[in-house]
Copies of this chain bind each other. A is one copy, B any other.
Amino acid sequence: MAAIGDVARLAGVSKATASRALSGGGHVAADTRRRVEAAASEIGYIASPAAASLVTGRTKNVGVVIPIVNRWFFGEVLEGIERALLSAGYDLTLYNVGEHGPARDRVFEFFLARKRVDAVIAIGVDLAEHEAARLAQSGKPLVCLGGRGAVDARLAIDDHAVGTLATEHLLGLGHTRIAHLAGLDAVAEPGSVPGERLRGYLDALASAGLAPGEGHVVEADTTMPAGCTGALQLLGRPGPRPTALFAASDEMAIGAMIAAERLGIAVPGELSVIGVDGHEYAEMFGLTTVEQAPGEQGRLAVDAVLRLLGEGEVADPLPDSGAPLPTRLVVRSSTTAPPRG
């Protein structure tokens, strides 16, 4: 393996100068720099990250903590982060943490606690107090995308507003029997993403002088099969059927559309359906949705991390601090006015 000494010798300079020419900020004569660069590329020299980080204390590596890879939203965020990090010359080290337990503890107590990453991005993870504390004490910048826990830098959409917006769209079309397919633990955990969307839905309903019908709020996993099962249950029960359904995610909404079809309920004729996300499959199903931009969110998280690390022009770590990430209503063919009669 070629080391910097080899480059220096070939270029006829000292290791210090070679280092400065290749990476350091120190001034080097233009001609010297050229000679060093030529020498480096001639022998295919690439600096050892370990050696460099041992002295600089920087690793040019960011840890990304994610609860699940294989869900559209998370996959998009991850791709956005990867792209942004790579183009900034940073590596991405992936930690897929699930439920609390020894495996998750190990990530926070060992993997993330070492000097292997300069910063951490946590996506949609509810940080326990001791986890947030661990990270804080390590002194590494932490940027959260959604999720909960006491941290400095968090980017998030306004989930309450999302619930309100979706519900108001249905109210505006004239619906009064509006059901909600909520995410898991929406009722039990008020501050969570599903909880906030549920609250937005309830508040919008209340503002219109309405309340959900009996059994018209059902919780399910935010997947297509779970959405299908949940909708089957919700739409199949006796009593007045809802004319509209707000699902907490597009995958659930699509599952609900399929459930409606199986029950012979026409969408949107007999049932309007709206989701949340802007899933890549939404268009195929003509699904009306409150769209968010996960890939872009990932990029913004990287921007924030890079700023906290002092890369580029050091500005406000979170330029629009406090302002929620953008979402927008995209109306397609799955929502319309309720059936007459």
Please list the residues of chain A having a beta carbon within 8 angstroms of any beta carbon in chain B: 1, 46-51, 53-54, 59, 61, 68-70, 72, 75-76, 78-79, 82-83, 86-87, 91-96, 103, 106-107, 110-111, 113-116, 223-225, 228, 255, 258, 261, 280-281, 283-284
A to B CB contacts below 8 Å, 27 in the list? A46-B114, A47-B114, A48-B54, A49-B50, A49-B116, A50-B50, A50-B116, A51-B54, A54-B54, A68-B79, A69-B75, A70-B72, A70-B75, A70-B79, A82-B94, A83-B96, A86-B103, A86-B111, A91-B111, A91-B116, A92-B93, A92-B94, A93-B94, A224-B281, A224-B284, A258-B284, A261-B261
| Bound-state Cα–Cα, A280 to B221, Å | 13
With A49-B114, A72-B70, A111-B91 known as contacts, the answer to whether A79 contacts B59 (CB < 8 A) is no
Q: What 6 pairs between A and B have smallest CB-CB spacing?
A: A70-B75, A225-B284, A50-B53, A50-B54, A50-B50, A82-B96
With A69-B78, A78-B69 known as contacts, the answer to whether A115 contacts B224 (CB < 8 A) is no
With A69-B79, A70-B76, A86-B103 known as contacts, the answer to whether A114 contacts B225 (CB < 8 A) is no
The distance from the CB of A71 to the nearest CB of chain B, in whole angstroms, is 8
Could you say which of B92, B225, B255 contacts A280, with CB atoms under 8 Å apart?
Answer: B225
| Residue of B whose beta carbon sits closest to that of A223 | B280
B86 touches A69 (CB 8 A): no
| Bound-state Cα–Cα, A95 to B61, Å | 12
| Bound-state Cα–Cα, A331 to B76, Å | 32
With A75-B69, A93-B93 known as contacts, the answer to whether A50 contacts B59 (CB < 8 A) is yes
Residues of B close to A283: CB separation below 8 A: 225
| Bound-state Cα–Cα, A313 to B5, Å | 37
| Bound-state Cα–Cα, A50 to B116, Å | 7
Residues of B close to A82: CB separation below 8 A: 69, 94-96
| Residue of B whose beta carbon sits closest to that of A259 | B284
| Bound-state Cα–Cα, A199 to B297, Å | 42
Residues of B close to A54: CB separation below 8 A: 48, 50-51, 54
Which of A1, A114, A261 has the most C-beta atoms of chain B within 10 angstroms of its own C-beta? A114
